[in-house]
Amino acid sequence: MSIVFGLCFALGIGTSDFLGGFATRRQHALTVVLGMLVGGVVMAALLLTVVPSAFRIEDVGLGAASGLTVGFALMAMFHGLAHSSPAVVSPLAALVSTLLPIGFDVLTGAELQGLVIVGVVVGLVGIVLSSFSPDLGSAVKVGLLWGLIAGALFGSALTFLAGTSEASGVWPAVSQRSVALVLLFVVASQQNIPRFPVRGVRIVALASGVFGSLAVAAFAVGTQRGSITQVA
């Protein structure tokens, strides 16, 4: 069952990233992310009606901590994308965000599976190949730095979610999306950036947030019932 949740997590994140990337080509990235998080909060709240979930302060707190790190991770990611290339920043962030929770799982007693090792090797090779671009010059180092920071923050966010109890269900996902939304809303307000996407971008951003929220919920519920290495 954990593998099924892992597949849902991967599909949800992939779809969310695709839609989000499409939307950010038409409006400021932070504005798009705020629209995504609005859709994400609504979707997570709706999941409370179908997934048995008990409101537990410690689990909601872990979700809130996850939301803070997600907010900072998104800011680091977009800073890297603005000063480097997605081909450098995104693969490294994805790899590190997966390695960190898996590493935590192994340190706490889980068995490292062969497929995980293969995935890490393939990911490293991909990062090395994508980083060799003469056109980027010094921007490669900038991309690697911010990709590493974003990945570490995303990985920390997933690790917080993985520490929640089975009884809490999707409440940690609700608190994660909500806290990230509040944090980035404050940042956008201080920088005078529009807080909600325009009409042509709005539906895409909201849909991206819905898939992202489904992915986060799948990860939370999956790791509550099984191993991080099977879900991540």
Provide the CB-side half-sphere exposure for 217 (13 A, CA).
25
Supply the pLDDT for residue 77.
84
Token pair for residue 200? 């042509």
Supply the pLDDT for residue 110.
66
Supply the pLDDT for residue 115.
57
* pLDDT tens by residue, 47-82: 999 999 999 999 999 999 999 999 999 888 888 877
Residue 161 dihedral angles phi and psi, to the nearest 5° = -60, -40
Q: What pTM, to 2 d.p., does this model score?
A: 0.85
Q: Please tell me the distance from the alpha carbon of residue 144 to that of residue 84, in angstroms, as a whole number.
A: 9
Cβ 219 vs Cβ 9: under 8 Å:
yes
* pLDDT tens by residue, 77-98: 888 877 777 777 878 888 888 8
pLDDT classification of 232: cutoffs 50, 70, 90: low
> 3-state DSSP call for residue 110?
coil
> What is the pLDDT of the chain when averaged over all its residues?
85
* pLDDT tens by residue, 139-182: 778 888 998 999 999 999 999 999 999 999 999 999 999 999 99
- Nearest Cα to Cα of residue 45 among 170, 153, 147: 170
Helices (H) then strands (E): counts for the chain? 9, 0
Q: Please tell me the distance from the alpha carbon of residue 172 to that of residue 99, in angstroms, as a whole number.
A: 21
DSSP states of 183-207: HHHHHHHHTT--SS--HHHHHHHHH
